[in-house]
Structure 1
Amino acid sequence: MPPPRTYRIGQIVPSSNVTMETEVPAILRARQALLPDERFTFHSSRMRMTHVTPEQLKAMDADSDRCAVELSDARVDVLGYACLVAIMSMGLGYHRTSEQRLHTRTVENGAPAPVVTSAGALVHGLHTMGARKIALLAPYMRPLTRTVVDYLTYEGIEVLDYEALEIPDNLDVAAHDPAKLPGLARALEYADADAVVLSACVQMPSLGAIEEAEQLLGKPVVSAAVCTAHQMLRALDLPAVAPGAGHLLSGAYAQTPLPRTPLPPPLPQ
């Protein structure tokens, strides 16, 4: 009997992020219970960021090239950029630019790897489910949350309602109690939404509340982290399925192809 295949998962994370290195591994390790012939190891490189401000996000994003090269030194099989708002604050459609540039860095280093950004993964995950109208929760200050709303709108996703929790310190974002999220989501105007984003931030933990929120709201519920795991699996050409992570990873979208075109929609006039 052949040994299990091991996949190396690389993540570019803000220096103060303590969530993506727990939630993505939790999703993929839960998957191993269904598919024991696969194993995953997890490897990170960090960009300096302590406060979620436009200035720190811009400086941090400039450091992502170094991280991509470092992770490709480890010959990772897929590389994830684990900061949604850093990408979205750089301009409409920027996830395509970032993914292409960072992939080029891995190619130049002799270890080509597909690149997934959490921003692009959220967009793709919502489109995968056919979610044209959503409601969302975000921990950011209101102007940055509005940036997320505008970014999703540009990608053809209407945000019917949102709540900005306005937590400026990134470690405080990680400390937010995920048990509170279903109740916060229930206060949103979500009746006409196709899906609810329980955490539009990979630092705000939500994995343990996803399925509870789906039962409470009667809607598909995702997070940026769940969408990232889905797209990472598809980038590895693996079925995107994992227990305990909500509708997107239920198996209904296990074979959804990745987006093929790097071209964004036309810029607004």
Structure 2
Amino acid sequence: METEIPAILRAREGVEPERFTFHSSRMRMQKVTKEELEAMDRDSDRCALELADARMDVLGYACLVAIMSMGRGYHRISEQRLHERTVAAGGPAPVVTSAGALIQGLNAIGAKKVSILTPYMKPLTQLVIDYIESEGIEVVDSISLEIPDNLEVARQDPLAPAEITKRLNTNVDAIVASACVQMPSLESIQIIEDRVGLPVLSGSVSTAYMMLKKLGLKTYAPGFGSLLSGKY
């Protein structure tokens, strides 16, 4: 998220007038396990307070599976709670979760059936599948890379999803090239979309889309797939 969201916004600055600054506060997590994800989520309140002190215009919660592992529909609870933290701190800001943004991005393009790629162990991927399906979107196919170390997830080649997703079922409405904001995929988005002729999303692309929506700005950034084409 800390590399891909700024890259999307920098590309947008080349064609649109708005300019952005990027600020972050970190929750700790080393191994991608349900226990560490729950501890990480508890720490999100502190992060919201810290960022509220800097008077942000929008906050992005950048761990999709941390939200989805907390139970169905939890992105709504998290977004409301963290927004309330910013209000209490005197720096009210809307909050976008990558989990909620992925669902909202898929809804925006009208996707009812999807195939997804994740870096997670299979039980966590199943949690993600269950969460997406609880929102009325069928996950037809999935690939789990089964990488337990969070740093190793970040070291993946951003072009790897372009190749790996060739194994996914494409008889769907959209492909999620990375259902994880830690696994790089930005350089693959347009490549996959051009190959399969379907909308291709990721956690980062969806989060950027929802951030622009919350800011009331044109949802356009060139080269990152249909969701950021400005059409939605």
Same fold by TM-score, threshold 0.5 exceeded? yes
The answer for unaligned runs of 5 or more in structure 1 is 1-19, 254-269
- Residue 123 (structure 2) pairs with residue 133 (structure 1): no
Q: Which amino acid aligns with 1:161?
A: D
Supply the distance in 1 between the matched residues of 2:47 and 2:176 (Cα, whole angstroms): 28
1:222 corresponds to which of 179, 198, 201: 201
Supply the distance in 1 between the matched residues of 2:123 and 2:29 (Cα, whole angstroms): 18
Tell me what 1:267 maps to.
Answer: none
Pairing of 1:1-269 with structure 2 (within 5 A) = 20-35=1-16, 37-191=17-171, 193-253=172-232
Secondary structure at the residue paired with 1:66?
helix
- CA shift, 1:57, in A, is 0.3
CA contact (8 A) 2:48 2:85 kept: yes
Supply the distance in 2 between the matched residues of 1:39 and 1:60 (Cα, whole angstroms): 31
The answer for unaligned runs of 5 or more in structure 2 is none
Regions of 4+ moved over 2 Å: none
Q: Which amino acid aligns with 1:76?
A: M
CA contact (8 A) 2:115 2:168 kept: yes
Supply the distance in 1 between the matched residues of 2:72 and 2:187 (Cα, whole angstroms): 31
- CA shift, 1:178, in A, is 2.2
- CA shift, 1:232, in A, is 0.2
Segment drifting more, 200-209 vs 210-219: 210-219
Segment drifting more, 125-134 vs 181-190: 181-190
Greater percentage in helix: 2
Supply the distance in 1 between the matched residues of 2:57 and 2:70 (Cα, whole angstroms): 26
- CA shift, 1:182, in A, is 1.7
How many positions carry a matched residue from both structures?
232
Segment drifting more, 116-125 vs 242-251: 242-251
- CA shift, 1:88, in A, is 0.2
Once the two structures are superposed, what CA deviation does each residue of 1:8-65 show, in whole Å capped at 9, x if it has no partner?
xxxxxxxxxxxx1110000011101111x31100100011101100010000100000
In our comparison, the structure showing a higher alpha carbon Rg is 1
Supply the distance in 2 between the matched residues of 1:235 and 1:68 (Cα, whole angstroms): 17
- CA shift, 1:104, in A, is 0.2
Greater percentage in strand: 1
Secondary structure at the residue paired with 1:43?
coil
Supply the distance in 2 between the matched residues of 1:42 and 1:206 (Cα, whole angstroms): 20
Question: What's the C-alpha RMSD, in Å, of the aligned pairs?
Answer: 0.7
Secondary structure at the residue paired with 2:212?
helix
Supply the distance in 2 between the matched residues of 1:198 and 1:48 (Cα, whole angstroms): 25
CA contact (8 A) 2:160 2:185 kept: no
Secondary structure at the residue paired with 1:40?
coil
- CA shift, 1:184, in A, is 1.3
Q: Which amino acid aligns with 2:3?
A: T
Secondary structure at the residue paired with 2:30?
coil
Q: Which amino acid aligns with 1:247?
A: S
Percent identity of the aligned residues?
64
CA contact (8 A) 1:65 1:102 kept: yes
